[in-house]
Structure 1
Amino acid sequence: MKPAAAAVAVVVVVVVVVVIVVVIVVVVVVEVVVVVVVKVVVLVLVVVVVVCMYVLVVKVVVLVLVVVVVVEIVVTAAAKAAVEVISTKLSRLVK
């Protein structure tokens, strides 16, 4: 083998090795970036879900409180009406 051909072969091997190393580094960096991006997206989705659940829980609690207050008002009004009817009937019986 001539020295020039040997030098060209060495250069080709070095270039191929460098290209392989660069490709491996790029793949690893891209993989790390993708993993980080996926983790950030998952974290954001978890935060969104937790916030939505919190908002839903708050809405449900407020709805339950409103229902309780309405039921209390209706029951109180019904009790007052019943007391009024009973007292009217009792006063008629007493007379």
Structure 2
Amino acid sequence: MSLFEDQVNVEFEDTNKKRKCNCGCICNVLKKMEPGTPVDVKFSGTPADENIRLVFTCLDEEECCAQFFDRIPNTGQPFVEPVWIPCEKIAFLREVKP
């Protein structure tokens, strides 16, 4: 096998490797969190007192994104609208105890 073929194969293999969530402590917390857990989330770049109440559903470790349920605005309905949030955009996460 030529040097060129070796390089092409290595590059091809690298692009096919699955990425794992490793953004730091937020990812580690989400990996251990049970689906259905209510949380307060603050996003990077927002004021310190501005957070949103959501319900955690799952973590996509390949894309490093977490899915949460949010309330449908102005309806008062329970948490039914799914939202995907990149882990790196979450600055603060607090589990809400009932």
Q: Same fold, TM exceeding 0.5?
A: no
Q: TM-score with structure 1 length normalisation?
A: 0.27
More strand, by proportion: 2
More helix, by proportion: 1
Larger Cα-atom Rg: 1
